[in-house]
Structure 1
């Protein structure tokens, strides 16, 4: 289908709504008319490709077992196959830059970014990087900002996972031994590190303001993670961290005041947060959610949007995984099916929600079932 093709017989979700009509694809774009070969996909739905604004499910492909995969590029290619199979055409890979060590260490982040640069030209899915920076790594601020600039990282989210409450009370933090083993440190060394990070808490706000300003000057999108309340959200917004990722209360989501709010699609499917946070459906129904992210499960955006469609309509529900996240990321060329837009689309069987075809930038990245039979038959149905 390198010369272009067009789809007939399917319900197509365009900006004006879901309706049957031909959809043309040529030169990597959605086009007017009916170019090339016809694909008759009667009874199926053609939806904009999913833009996954935050997902760390790729980690399972990089390390299915500790030390099992040493070639990160191969792991990323396997992750891209899973993304495509779930209708994701643009994926933001959320990589930690943390004191936690192991796959969350700065050195691993650098290796992952190098591998990602090598993989991008070999796959159809658009793979972007997000770095999740631990704010108490004061000694890493310059190195981190330089890495973001050198690798063109478009999106940075600030985290603080230091167990301050336990440390301030002089207690041993929970799960210390397990975390230490994952980091490659002894429990004693890990505890010493946590105490040292906690001791410099007063230095963080000023340093963070400088770092946020530097990153914003580079055109980097900034966000915060797990905001617990309105005050926390307001503080991050004042630093230029516009995006509220997975706020844990409705008050924090409301405090965003029109700025982007990203919720977890697995939260929608579960019917609530696994960590006692706000129910994502509640945020969606209040009109506060801009985008749903895979978080840790790549099938979740598709399934969550289809689940929500029964209550809010397919147009609004699917926007949460397509045009919504695309807009947050500033990707104005995707997230919708209209002439001139990037040819990112997913074909779904409305009977069971299964993906039959994923096209990213006009290139087939995944195909199965009845759609594959139509394509292989060569007759267009």
Structure 2
């Protein structure tokens, strides 16, 4: 689909300095500095920068709507993109596990997702990207993981450790182990033995992570850590080149990231809910303290725009700054300096929104419609 040359008239446009009335011109997939093409009357609506979702895994339900139903991943990705676009997201980073947890989080499934995305990406309007989330206990998988990431051009890797170390260290059987094993078609006792073996070998992990991080850093791959709990955690990952702090669990870890100049990603659902469902530090508190660089959808795409308006309505920050947490902030972390704001020369990634309901009426990615609905559709087609 070719980008459309248009001049959008009459709407309130969210610029870096705030809302302003005036025309917004689109030409060749970019924001133009002068009127061009056909005029579209958007009086009564708002135009905001397209949302950049730096970490979202809600796409999983489209790939496997029922347990074991994991075929035709390309069609699942097409359906996921439709939901993503309808929520105003013009750039989406799919957070895909590469984990001992198996099933949809296992290495084999990660490979299938990357292949499927390679097949459909060119036919979709949304800029779909991938973050691979690597479980660091998997010592035998380091080589395969790096080869997979490089083969598919993955440019963002996050390091995770979801082993139930506390229970394993006490010789206890982790909760939900049997159900987890059966869900991925594995004997529960074999699964427990594997967890115990990975836990016992954790002393070998730091050297392995050091080597992998060094190799990825040399290849220009952005790296982050997940669920940091302490100042020491963040310092260790920073030294490895994993500068992005994803969902720090404590205020101490968030402060350490901020003090070290590391981008901090927090969950938009945490902001909307007013606190973490796991009892971790409140994202709303972290945002208010200035420790947040970007908000991510995590598991719920609509939460991103809801969080931005909640922050603006609550006086935590003005709308331009709040919206920046879901547009220019994440774009900057990813090195995507061509988007995130509605200024001449940037990509024409934008949302048309109904102010009263804050419902998304249209989403454009690089000047192409990825979503269009209702009265706004009639205005564009008139």
The answer to whether the Cα contact below 8 Å between 2:4 and 2:26 also exists between their aligned partners in 1 is: no
Partner of 2:376: 371
Q: What aligned pairs does 1:168-317 form with structure 2 within 5 A after superposition?
A: 168-256=169-257, 257=259, 258-310=261-313, 311=315, 312-317=317-322
For residues 92 and 343 of structure 2, the distance between their equivalents in structure 1, rounded to whole angstroms, comes to: 21
Displacement of 1:2 in angstroms is: 4.9
Q: Deviations over 1:102-159 (max 9, x none)?
A: 0011000000000001111011000000000000101111111111111110100000
Displacement of 1:16 in angstroms is: 2.7
Q: What aligned pairs does 1:149-164 form with structure 2 within 5 A after superposition?
A: 149-164=150-165
Q: Deviations over 1:53-112 (max 9, x none)?
A: 000000000011123351000000000000100000000000000011000110000000
For residues 72 and 65 of structure 2, the distance between their equivalents in structure 1, rounded to whole angstroms, comes to: 12
**For 1:255, what is the secondary structure of its paired residue?**
helix
Partner of 1:346: 351
Q: What aligned pairs does 1:121-160 form with structure 2 within 5 A after superposition?
A: 121-160=122-161
Partner of 2:47: 46
Displacement of 1:184 in angstroms is: 1.4
The answer to whether the Cα contact below 8 Å between 2:244 and 2:262 also exists between their aligned partners in 1 is: yes
The answer to whether the Cα contact below 8 Å between 1:246 and 1:263 also exists between their aligned partners in 2 is: yes
**For 2:79, what is the secondary structure of its paired residue?**
helix
For residues 113 and 48 of structure 2, the distance between their equivalents in structure 1, rounded to whole angstroms, comes to: 31
- Return 5+ residue gaps in structure 1 as ranges: none
**For 2:13, what is the secondary structure of its paired residue?**
strand
For residues 165 and 357 of structure 2, the distance between their equivalents in structure 1, rounded to whole angstroms, comes to: 46
The answer to whether the Cα contact below 8 Å between 2:3 and 2:29 also exists between their aligned partners in 1 is: no
- Return 5+ residue gaps in structure 2 as ranges: none
The answer to whether the Cα contact below 8 Å between 1:306 and 1:353 also exists between their aligned partners in 2 is: no
For residues 304 and 333 of structure 2, the distance between their equivalents in structure 1, rounded to whole angstroms, comes to: 16
In the TM superposition, structure 1's runs of 4+ consecutive aligned residues that sit over 3 Å from their partners are none
Partner of 2:330: 325
Q: Aligned Cα RMSD in Å?
A: 1.0
For residues 380 and 11 of structure 2, the distance between their equivalents in structure 1, rounded to whole angstroms, comes to: 15
For residues 331 and 267 of structure 1, the distance between their equivalents in structure 2, rounded to whole angstroms, comes to: 25
TM-score (norm 1): 0.97
For residues 251 and 67 of structure 1, the distance between their equivalents in structure 2, rounded to whole angstroms, comes to: 40
The answer to whether the Cα contact below 8 Å between 2:4 and 2:367 also exists between their aligned partners in 1 is: no
For residues 225 and 206 of structure 2, the distance between their equivalents in structure 1, rounded to whole angstroms, comes to: 14
For residues 245 and 185 of structure 2, the distance between their equivalents in structure 1, rounded to whole angstroms, comes to: 32
